[in-house]
Structure 1
Amino acid sequence: MITPEYCRTMAAYNKWQNDGLREIVKTMDSKALEQDRGAFFGSIIATLNHLLWGDTLWISRFDGGPAPDQTIKDSTQYMPTSATWAAQRFRVDGRITHWADHVHAIDLTGTLRWYSGSLQRDFEKPVGLCVMQLFNHQTHHRGQVHAMLTAAGEKPNDTDLPFMPES
């Protein structure tokens, strides 16, 4: 379904996009970041927090590392400030990149089993599908953040994969 190269490309894309978002967020005041902008999670920082929470949860399922203690209900408050969000975002992007750099084709086959605390039930899904979910979820919510930042007068990076800088 997917390859290690896909994982490496998407991990690099994730890092590139989040590097740009961290640069913008550090210049914005908390009021602008917390303003309800009518998005699904309301504000820029709430959406960024949910995305970071989701990334941390999914990568924990792939690398066996730590997962968030919060459920989806509390995901919008995952990090208390934009500074803590930026620091944790940097760490999780490194974790995703490390996993992608070391994943093998065999690791992307088979079934992933986990218990969802949010839905209170067990799941079994193909590993490849779950990895695609990690990257699709990122792109989906970063698109929301991109729209909110643009509406707030900011200039986020281009989001097109062919224009990603070479590593």
Structure 2
Amino acid sequence: MIEPGYCLTMARYNAWQNGLMKTALQELDEDALRADRGAFFGSIMNTANHILWGDTLWMGRFDKGPGPELGADASIAMTPNLPAWTGERFRMDGRILRWAEQVGALELKGDLSWESVASKTAFRKPLALCAMHMFNHQTHHRGQIHAMVTAAGGEGWRTDLPYLPEEGPWL
């Protein structure tokens, strides 16, 4: 399905995109970050928090480290403000990169089992599928944020994967 190189490329892309997004968000005032813009999670800040929450959830499953302390319904409150989000986002991007640097092909061919707290459902899915989902989830919601930032009068950022820098630093 996928190989370790995919995970590493997407982890680098994720960190690069989050850095560009952070710069765009820092140009907006608090009201612009918190305004309900009709997106699924309402505001820019709520959506950024949800992405961070989802990454924390999946990484807890992938690397057996800590997961989110909040449930899915509270994902939009993962951090209280942009400076706190920025610090947590930086740490999470590093965690994702470390995982992607060491995930092996054999591991990606195996399954991941977990129980969803939200739906009370037990799952067993290929780890490769779950990794693809995590990276797709990030991209999906970052696209929503991109649209909200530009609608708020902010600067968008380049999102095309071919522009991913060949060399880091990724964080």
Which residue pairs with 1:76 in the alignment? 76
Deviation at 1:166, TM superposition (A): 1.4
Residues 99-132 of structure 1: per-residue CA shift (max 9 Å, x gap): 1011110110121100111111211111110000
Which residue pairs with 1:95 in the alignment? 95
Q: Which amino acid is the alignment partner of residue 19 of structure 1?
A: G
Runs of 4+ in structure 1 off by over 2 angstroms are: none
1-side partners of 2:87 and 2:25: how far apart?
A: 12
Which residue pairs with 1:132 in the alignment? 132
Q: Give TM-score scaled by structure 2 length.
A: 0.95
1-side partners of 2:155 and 2:164: how far apart?
A: 16
Unaligned runs of 5+ in 2: none
Contact map agreement 2:34 2:45 (CA 8 A) in 1: yes
Unaligned runs of 5+ in 1: none
2-side partners of 1:154 and 1:11: how far apart?
A: 25
2-side partners of 1:155 and 1:52: how far apart?
A: 21
Count of aligned pairs between the two proteins? 167
SS at match of 1:85: helix
Question: Percent identity among equivalent residues?
Answer: 53
1-side partners of 2:158 and 2:93: how far apart?
A: 19
Q: Which amino acid is the alignment partner of residue 14 of structure 2?
A: N
2-side partners of 1:159 and 1:27: how far apart?
A: 18
Q: Which amino acid is the alignment partner of residue 60 of structure 1?
A: G
Residues 35-91 of structure 1: per-residue CA shift (max 9 Å, x gap): 000101000000000000001100111111100011110001111111101100000
| 1:2-13 paired onto structure 2 within 5 Å | 2-13=2-13
Q: Which amino acid is the alignment partner of residue 108 of structure 1?
A: L
1-side partners of 2:118 and 2:80: how far apart?
A: 21
